[in-house]
């Protein structure tokens, strides 16, 4: 049997598998078995590819193209986020949490102060309608202070519907 009949060259195996000879060389460096005089057995090569979970399809550039597409999409998304940040169109999550916490504390403190503010006035009132009106007025004041603070802090107008 002549040397040429004992196996395939890298280019020949690459052609059979649909990959470049460079890819076959890479596989050899990763452990693809090489026969006599550097020749490659296509059956042994397929077994090695299966055992090592290497797919000729990913080596043809299809896998690379998919990975490249994903990378380009991710980079485009990052660029869009950076542009939005530069245009001041994004919100920092930590700042939002801090602001929300501050606003909730303001509302809580406003409502918690109502009993002390209204205690003396309510003690002398007996008419349910007057009591309701007083409570509604004071609650609206607390909410309006909150809305004003929100408008100042957020740069947006808050409409309480009244």
In a domain, 14, yes or no: yes
Where in the sequence is the domain holding 145, given as residue range(s)? 93-154
In a domain, 128, yes or no: yes
Same domain, 64 and 48: no
Return all residues near 37 (Cβ < 8 A) that are at least 6 apart.
3, 6, 7
0.75 cut: is pTM over it? no
Predicted confidence (pLDDT) at residue 156 exceeds the cutoff of 80: no
Among candidate residues 14, 42, 59, the one where a domain is terminated: 59
Q: For residue 11, what are the CA distances in angstroms to 77, 143, 154? A: 40, 78, 66
In a domain, 162, yes or no: no
Structure token pair of residue 73: 């999409």
Return all residues near 7 (Cβ < 8 A) that are at least 6 apart.
35, 36, 37, 39, 40, 41
Same domain, 114 and 149: yes
In a domain, 159, yes or no: no
Q: What is the pLDDT of residues 104-131, one digit of tens each?
A: 898 899 999 999 999 999 999 999 999 9
Return all residues near 157 (Cβ < 8 A) that are at least 6 apart.
151
**The dihedral of CA 99, 100, 105, 111: what is its sign?**
positive
Residues 25, 11: Cα–Cα separation, whole Å:
9
In a domain, 119, yes or no: yes
How many domains does the chain divide into?
3
Domain of 33, CATH number, reads 1.10.1660
Confidence of residue 154 (pLDDT cuts 50, 70, 90): confident
């Amino acid at each position: 049997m002549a040397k040429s009949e004992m196996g395939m060259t890298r280019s020949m195996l690459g052609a059979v598998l649909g990959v470049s000879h460079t890819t076959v060389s890479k596989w050899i460096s990763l452990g693809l078995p090489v026969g006599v005089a550097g020749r490659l057995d296509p059956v042994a090569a397929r077994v090695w590819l299966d055992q090592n979970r290497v797919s000729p399809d990913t080596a043809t550039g299809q896998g690379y193209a998919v990975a490249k597409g994903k990378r380009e999409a991710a980079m485009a998304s990052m660029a869009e986020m950076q542009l939005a940040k530069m245009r001041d169109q994004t919100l920092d999550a930590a700042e939002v949490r801090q602001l929300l916490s501050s606003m909730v504390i303001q509302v809580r403190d406003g409502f918690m102060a109502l009993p002390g503010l209204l205690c003396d006035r309510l003690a002398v009132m007996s008419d349910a309608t007057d009591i309701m009106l007083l409570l509604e007025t004071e609650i609206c004041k607390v909410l309006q202070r909150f809305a004003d603070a929100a408008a100042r802090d957020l740069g947006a107008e808050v409409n309480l519907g009244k």
